[in-house]
Amino acid sequence: MKFKIQWYDRLPSTNTFLKERLALEPELPSGTVVATREQTQGRGRRGRDWLSAANENLTFSILLRGGYEPRWLPSATMAAAIAVADLLGAEGVKADLKWPNDVLVNGKKICGILSEGIPGGIIIGIGLNVNMADAGEIDQPATSLLIETGARRNMDQLLERLLSILSIRIEEWAEGGFSRVRKKWEANVPTLGKTVTVRDGDAERTGQLAGFGDDGELLLRVEGGEVIPVWAGDLSV
């Protein structure tokens, strides 16, 4: 898959901006990448803020056109997370995957991903902590490549490397959804087989993480042995 990168100095949200661009330019090609040096109103799941100070983090969104089934949307996020974990491994950092959309290093969040369905395609937004030196103001334990390795990265070069890996993972996913990336995903999930709790609003369920369904849904083995699918929620151990 080929990508065309468009860098901006400052944007509120790359996902929102890309959707606005599509409204004005409906023929915008698949593979368009909108990246920003500073993101001021980034969004995570459930409307959470994902802010990025100037030249600290890699924040970008990708347009994928195609007749993807709505049920494939969650696993698009998972395929992207695998690519980020692959990149971090190449940078000398061991990463774990946390369902449904986070990449962790030593139990701390280093990357979040937000995929959104649009007419005729999907937008995948990725925020990767790169040159952030202080994670003290983030509302959960977080880290960055700089914190983990002591070395700063060139954002343009890092994005190019990540996109080359994303191209492979996205093409795999586009061929068969979650089934094509399942093994790679599960190999990077340390909570597989462990007791976990999933919170979705006021609802809370605890059980054994038994695996993942055909579309990336979490399979939770609850008391009595029944395995139930969970499509959304916040996971904790």
pLDDT tens for residues 189-235?
Answer: 999 999 999 988 778 899 999 999 999 999 999 988 999 999 988 88
130, 57 contact by CB (below 8 A)? yes
In this structure, the answer to whether residues 138 and 225 fall within a common structural domain is no
Residue 126 CA, distance from chain mean position: 5
Domain count, the chain: 2
For residue 27, the model assigns a pLDDT of 93
| DSSP string over 117-167 | EETTEEEEEEEEE-S----TTSSS-B--HHHHHS----HHHHHHHHHHHHH
* Residue-wise pLDDT tens digits, 17-56: 999 999 999 999 999 999 999 988 655 444 444 555 677 8
Tell me the average pLDDT of the chain: 90
Structural domain containing residue 41: 4-187
Global pTM exceeds 0.75 = yes
Tell me, yes or no, whether 21 and 124 share the same domain. Answer: yes
- 110-147, pLDDT tens digit by residue? 999 999 999 999 999 999 999 998 766 555 789 999 99
> In this structure, what CATH number is given to the domain that contains residue 28?
3.30.930.10
Same domain, 121 and 160: yes
* Same domain as 121, residue 103: yes
201: tokens are: 């609003």
Indicate whether 84 and 109 sit together in one domain.
yes
Per-residue model confidence (pLDDT) at position 43: 54
Q: Is the same domain home to 80 and 142?
A: yes
Could you give the dihedral angle defined by the CA atoms of residues 73, 177, 187 and 115, in that order, rounded to the nearest 10 degrees? -20
Do 122 and 227 sit in the same domain of this protein?
no
pLDDT tens-digit map of 151-181: 999 999 999 999 999 999 999 999 989 999 9
* Torsion, CA 103, CA 105, CA 107, CA 109, rounded to 10: -50
